[in-house]
């Protein structure tokens, strides 16, 4: 198949029964490579490509957007 592959996924990772060590991760992928990621341990978006860096800067500068993602691990 000739074309592009876009996907995203989110997951919560934990090892304790009380979820006290839960980490929320959200990845955006293009052609199977992560280009931007939110990790609740870090607390902000990190870009891994030029496009991802632009997205991360935009999302990190929007405090309401960023607070919403930070709250995902609690939800």
Query: Once rounded to an integer, what is the mean pLDDT over residues 11-24?
Result: 89
Q: Using alpha carbons only, how large is the chain's radius of gyration in Å?
A: 14
Q: Report yes or no: 13 and 25 within 8 Å, Cβ to Cβ.
A: yes
Task: Look at residue 12 and tell me whether its pLDDT is greater than 70.
Answer: yes
What domains appear along the chain, each with residue ranges and CATH number?
6-74 (3.10.320.10)
Of 21, 22, 25, 28, residue with least CA distance to 44: 25
Q: Which residue has the higher pLDDT, 1 or 37?
A: 37
Rounded distance between C-alpha atoms, residue 73 and residue 45, angstroms? 14
pLDDT band at 1 (very low <50, low <70, confident <90, very high): low
Express as a percent the part of the chain with pLDDT over 90.
Answer: 64
pLDDT digits (tens, 9 = 90+) for 47-58: 999 999 999 999
Phi then psi dihedrals of residue 63, to 5 deg: -65, -35
């Amino acid at each position: 198949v000739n074309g592009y592959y876009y996907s995203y996924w989110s997951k919560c990772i934990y090892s304790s029964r009380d979820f006290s060590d839960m980490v929320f991760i959200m990845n955006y992928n293009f052609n199977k490579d992560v280009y931007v990621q939110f990790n609740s341990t870090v607390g902000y978006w990190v870009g891994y490509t030029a496009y991802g860096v632009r997205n991360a800067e935009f999302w990190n500068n929007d405090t309401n957007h960023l607070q919403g993602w930070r709250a995902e691990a609690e939800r």
